[in-house]
Structure 1
């Protein structure tokens, strides 16, 4: 009998993400502010199409053949995407309205190109579960299992399942499916799925299925709007927070100057500062102010994360041996940090900052730094965060990146309102932060300690905090997943860099893009002259949701 001694096997390496765990609290925050919308649930019509797909299959077939269900589900999933892409090509060619973010789109665009060249297309060629270059999606139940199943279950639209079969909820899912069914050519759709052969004319005849057509299906549109804005008060605190955040996005779209477009970048800055592009105050209804305050915490935590990611990347860059003789140059991370703060590069940092102590750097930020509302100033924390990301990608020198990181941290310390808890009003406890040592709570405590230090001492402590935290986070991931995500590790030769490429500092993605796309799918936002603006139904709903 063959025995495999698992504990002797080296762990498989993985590039990994969030090497410091600084992005996790950001995810906790936006997860509470936009529940029911995730970074992979991009289109509102999937919230009604998937329950309809299972419901309408049940009207036509028995429930005792999982293989038949999977085969027909995958064909239908492909057909749904092909319809949307075709509708874009023969209509306004606006991908954002039709084909963007549809499941398997990249593969199926190629299929549609072949179809346009003449003849017909077999759905099974792309819906196959076999390992094929044409396969539209690996997961057996396509975009439902991969992206939407958990969210639809949380919204009580569908039920989770550990088998190949999936079910709609009889309380909400079946009603939504029936609403969807009233405005689509369901009989023809299933005929084409069964026939396994489609033409361009078929896709045109099925255009009512396109993701852009929710506003043309009044009962479905109202049902989906009630889900996202919790019009029936079914979802408790989660429903209220989702409604408030969506209303806040609508409020910003309504308040922006005519030349400005609604974007995640603008939303971050306006929510954080309460000031619109151009300097006018953003007047937010009283009912939405707590929600906006939570988004302020999100932006603050994300800026903190970008600064610390940059520090870790600087450490990894400086630890990498330039020649073979330099390998094992540092016996410990303490030896490295001591070396760095005594180096010429640290001297350049101090020349850039013009301050020797961290408390003076914080005082400068507080007294001479830009006002909170002046977020276009290059010294503002919003701009400093952008400079770190762009600077790293653009190959900026280490001293400049480190100086900007320290300025950003000093700005965050200077802006900290000590009368409030760092995560006030959010369900984020000490226990939930236990695996993420660098967070707004620990940063407040560390920031107080740093004000008794010189900038050199503070930088040494900062680098040690980053490197120790990374090792702790990587050890936890190794224990939980069996995968090694170490970017550096101690060895018999000393501290060694384990990554091939130093990770690039990044922002988190707070579901904003998905929320805007869903609002547009529902007909509540529209593109007008290249700008995103409220529709009349959107304005009416915003007013109701903002009280």
Structure 2
């Protein structure tokens, strides 16, 4: 008989958000780039899926969901094979399977089995409705391209969705359309057909073309009936174009984060500055959650210093003592002194971020980085009414949720306490005990055992270390989309990108 607890097999699962503090940032960045997610990786998929739905409907109306699912999965598998054959195509669902399949050397590839939902075979993707269902449908629905249909079959909308379908159809032409659909039906493809289908790959959006214009209009909400979500996405994408213009090269998600952390030398229009403030608020939230997680990591290291672990009182005492040992003057001064002495303009924000999210150095060696980052964030919010107002509005206090708002409210009450005392209490009360609560909720609701330490005879014993993890705010796919539609290039903005940026400014 197996007498082990049901969750024992999950003992090695460790959450990325041990303080339950990342969600505030996730909710914010979702509102900043609606219709794009971290797993919607190429713009052309939006047109491809719209066309795929319309092509399916043109074959004759059916409400058999299994036939729809087979159509989607076979089309995705074929699309992956074409992209692998064309090479150089990133962000394609099933591309690893496709590369391996092509390396087998077969002249004719039967992909019917790989496109099935039979769990006993090697499939191009295990998700039931492929990358369409797992990643793209919800985002395309948010953009007004798709809507629910009968028997769970998703279908394109009659306006924006059908327009995108027709634009994709016009780009590939009737011959390739027929070749692709016939090959999906057969679920077999030869090498010559793969080569002939290369024009459908994500990097081959024609310029100029109605397809390219359709994607740009969708991303930038060119229609008169755009909603608040559309306007938010347009503002964020315009900010990325502005950063690209200033940097003179294709930006990275990291460079966009930091470029939007401060106002540019040339003032932005009011609507773009408001959006930039929201991105600054997001970055402040992410900086704070990384700092708080670093303090938790330090507490876990204190527990792990001995096999028997440590009590809460011992952890707090160790934090106070070690801060004093490494910088007695700062540790003994008040929290208000440290905060108010911080020059937020000169503070090395990016350096602190890099050290705290990097793997070099021990948690204790990073402790002062975390403390000073919290103080710098506190000062930045205190002296900036525009920022503090935006943060409060963008990140509302909600029940048991934690965020930069709740945590800075706690630090607001620590002005007269020494830095060491304030941080010692924060580590125990708002990091260690908070993690216990968060992990217990995950165990109760999800049956996931994510505790980084456990209690034994009144002492906390380390189970696993923790490395702070920043959130990923959809910037990578957003930049890729802008490149896909010929607005951004390796050397910066294209002529189209400059014209669009000028129009949006």
Common fold: TM-score over 0.5: yes
- The answer to whether 1:273 aligns with 2:252 is no
Superposed, 1:356-375 pairs within 5 Å as: 356-366=333-343, 372=345
Please give the per-residue CA displacement for 1:10-58, whole angstroms capped at 9, x wherever unaligned: 5855422211122111112111111111111111111111121121012
Structure 2 distance, partners of 1:349, 1:402, is 10
1:336 aligns with 2:315: yes
Checking the alignment, whether the CA contact within 8 Å between 1:140 and 1:164 is kept in structure 2 is no
2:494 is aligned to 535
2:112 is matched with which residue?
Answer: 124
Question: Is it true that 1:459 corresponds to 2:423 in the alignment?
Answer: yes
Question: Alpha-carbon deviation of 1:247?
Answer: 0.5
Secondary structure of 1:174's partner?
A: helix
Query: Residue 215 of structure 1: SS of its match in structure 2?
Result: coil
> 2:106, 2:357 → 1: CA distance?
47
Does residue 169 of the first structure (1) align with residue 152 of the second (2)? no
For residues 229 and 392 of structure 2, the distance between their equivalents in structure 1, rounded to whole angstroms, comes to: 12
Deviation, structure 1 residue 254: 0.8
Question: CA offsets per residue over residues 472-530 of structure 1, 9 Å max, x none?
Answer: 22233334323332223434453233x4x3221121111111100011111111123xx
* Per-residue deviation, 1:427: 5.4
- Aligned pairs for 1:21-32 (under 5 A) are 21-32=20-31
The corresponding residue for 1:75 is: 74
State the secondary structure of the residue aligned to 2:471.
Answer: coil
Do the aligned residues in 1 keep the contact of 2:281 with 2:387 (CA within 8 Å)? no
Which position in structure 2 is the counterpart of 1:294?
A: 278
Q: Which piece of structure 1 moves more, 31-40 or 262-271?
A: 262-271
The SS at the match of 1:124 is coil
**Deviation for aligned residue 1:240:** 0.8
Paired residue for 1:401? 366
**In 1: Cα distance, 2:6 partner to 2:192 partner:** 57
Whether 1:180 aligns to 2:172 is no
Tell me whether 1:422 sits opposite 2:411 in the alignment.
no
**Pairwise CA distance, 1:161:** 6.3
From the superposition, tell whether residues 316 and 58 of structure 1 become closer, same or farther in structure 2 (CA, over 3 Å): same
Preserved CA contact (<8 Å) 1:474 1:486: yes
Partner residue of 1:485 out of 447, 450, 453: 450
Contact 1:381–1:412 under 8 Å retained in 2: no
The answer on 1:544 being equivalent to 2:481 is no
- Check the 8 A contact 1:294/1:426 in 2, yes or no: no
Which residues in structure 2 correspond to 1:236-275 (within 5 Å)?
236-256=227-247, 258=248, 261-274=250-263
Cα offset, 1:352, TM superposition? 9.1
Alignment-derived partner of residue 381 in structure 1: 349
Q: Cα distance, 1:261 vs. partner? A: 5.0
Distance 2:124 2:392 in 1: 40
Match of 1:517 in 2: 480
Q: How far did 1:471 drift?
A: 2.1
Alignment length, in residue pairs? Answer: 494
Looking at structure 2, the residues matched to 472 and 318 of structure 1 have their Cα atoms a distance apart, in angstroms, of: 20
Q: Residues of 2 paired with 1:161 and 1:489: CA distance?
A: 48
**Aligned-CA RMSD value:** 2.5
- Give 1:335 shift: 4.0
Cα contact 2:294–2:363 (8 A) shared by 1: no
CA contact (8 A) 1:349 1:402 kept: no
1:215: Cα distance to partner?
3.2
Partner Cα distance (1:216, 1:382) in 2? 38
Q: Tell me how far apart the structure 2 counterparts of residues 253 and 420 of structure 1 sit (CA, whole Å).
A: 25
Are residue 503 (structure 1) and residue 466 (structure 2) matched?
yes
1:178-232 per-position Cα deviation (integer Å, ceiling 9, x unaligned) = 2211222210101111222212221121122111122347222222211110000
Matched position secondary structure for 1:272: coil
In structure 2, the residue matched to 1:52 is 51
Q: Which runs of 5+ in 2 are unaligned?
A: none
TM-score normalised by length of structure 2: 0.90
Unaligned ranges ≥5, structure 1: 1-7, 89-94, 276-280
Deviations 1:326-375 (A, max 9, x none): 25x42xx2442234423xx3343325957643333223323xxxx52x5x
Tell me which residue corresponds to 1:448.
412
- 1:427–1:37 distance in 2 versus 1, CA, 3 Å: farther
